[in-house]
């Protein structure tokens, strides 16, 4: 008896989807929101088209008509009420979806705060003194990352020290975004710490420690990123245990340094502990 051939259906290609991002400003905010949101979905065939720095209703009409041809979803960030209402009306007339990404939140804030919004595009990007302080701090963190330019340690607000992969750089970057000028210096048994580290106000130095298992995983991940074998000496548990013990000895030799175990702490939590300790003069918790 001949077996019947079972016909298999060919997998249909995923339907192409298009999303229009529309705004009267630079579009930085809505672009970040859209991409962060899309990261939650597995669909690959999503095309994003951007239309920013809009200057009037004529442009809005043109964009919406184009979106209708693409059967696109329009996500917009327009704070000028007449233009926002005009876009919604145009989208409704064309039979396409339009999402007010920021406006809905602003409305709810207005109700909660009992205050009328100013409706000024890009207000969150005003270049005030705080903005320039953060930019200066970020530049400082980059220049003084991983022990570079030790002569500049005297100008740092905070100095982070610790073994490789104890989170010094991401923590310094986070602190810089808060407006603090951080530097970080690596410690290792085969390296000599720069003399400048011991010449600054020692209350500004924070030692980062971590558990053996956590550090093993972090270093294995780093080796994987570099395409190297995960069992290299760099990630060997025995070697790491020795390094941590040695580092603990360095911290004891410098009792004015304040030590923070970052094993189970998120960056935000670790930064908060350091800033609290720095401002209060107490040990970080």
Query: Coil, helix or strand for 159?
Result: strand
The pLDDT of residue 121 = 55
On whether both 205 and 104 belong to a single domain, the answer is no
Residue 59 maps to a domain: yes
Residue 222 maps to a domain: yes
Phi, psi values for residue 49, rounded to 5°: -115, 135
On whether both 233 and 108 belong to a single domain, the answer is no
On whether both 137 and 230 belong to a single domain, the answer is yes
The CATH number given to whatever domain includes residue 112 is 3.40.50
On whether both 271 and 133 belong to a single domain, the answer is yes
On whether both 257 and 143 belong to a single domain, the answer is yes
Structural domain boundaries, residue 77: 17-125
On whether both 85 and 147 belong to a single domain, the answer is no
On whether both 144 and 270 belong to a single domain, the answer is yes
CA distances from 8 to 2, 13, 65, 78, 87 (A): 18, 15, 40, 49, 46
On whether both 155 and 187 belong to a single domain, the answer is yes
The pLDDT of residue 181 = 95
Among candidate residues 125, 152, 183, the one where a domain is terminated: 125
| pTM of full prediction above 0.85 | no
Residue 250 maps to a domain: yes
On whether both 218 and 249 belong to a single domain, the answer is yes
**Bridge partners (DSSP) listed for residue 68:** none
Among candidate residues 59, 90, 125, the one where a domain is terminated: 125
Q: Per-residue confidence of the chain (285 residues) as pLDDT tens digits? A: 555 554 545 555 556 789 999 988 777 778 888 877 777 666 567 888 999 888 889 999 999 999 999 999 899 988 777 888 899 999 989 999 888 887 666 665 666 667 676 655 555 555 556 767 888 898 899 899 999 999 999 999 999 999 999 999 999 988 998 889 999 999 999 999 999 999 999 999 999 999 999 999 999 888 887 888 777 889 999 999 999 999 999 999 999 999 999 998 888 899 999 999 998 877 776
């Amino acid at each position: 008896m001949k077996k019947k051939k079972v016909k298999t259906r060919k997998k249909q290609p995923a339907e192409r989807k298009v999303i229009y991002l529309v705004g009267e400003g630079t579009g930085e905010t809505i672009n970040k929101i859209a991409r962060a949101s899309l990261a939650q979905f597995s669909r690959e065939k999503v095309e994003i088209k951007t239309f920013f720095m809009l200057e009037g209703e004529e442009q809005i009409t043109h964009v919406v008509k184009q979106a209708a041809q693409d059967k696109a979803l329009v996500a917009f960030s327009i704070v000028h009420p007449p233009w926002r209402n005009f876009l919604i009306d145009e989208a409704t007339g064309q039979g396409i979806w339009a999402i007010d990404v920021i406006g809905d939140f602003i409305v709810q804030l207005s109700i909660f705060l009992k205050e009328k919004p100013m409706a000024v595009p890009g207000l969150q990007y005003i270049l005030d003194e705080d903005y320039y302080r953060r930019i200066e701090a970020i530049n400082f963190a980059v220049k003084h990352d991983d022990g570079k330019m030790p002569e500049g340690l005297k100008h740092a607000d905070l100095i982070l020290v610790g073994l490789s992969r104890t989170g010094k750089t991401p923590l310094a970057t986070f602190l810089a975004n808060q407006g603090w000028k951080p530097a970080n210096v690596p410690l290792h048994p085969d390296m000599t710490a720069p003399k400048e580290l011991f010449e600054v106000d020692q209350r500004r130095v924070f030692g980062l420690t971590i558990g053996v298992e956590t550090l093993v995983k972090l270093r294995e991940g780093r080796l994987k990123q570099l395409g190297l074998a995960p069992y290299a000496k760099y990630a060997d548990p025995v070697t790491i245990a020795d390094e941590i013990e040695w580092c603990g000895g360095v911290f004891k030799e410098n009792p004015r340094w304040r030590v923070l175990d970052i094993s189970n702490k998120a960056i935000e939590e670790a930064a908060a502990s350091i800033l609290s300790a720095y401002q209060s003069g107490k040990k970080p918790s």
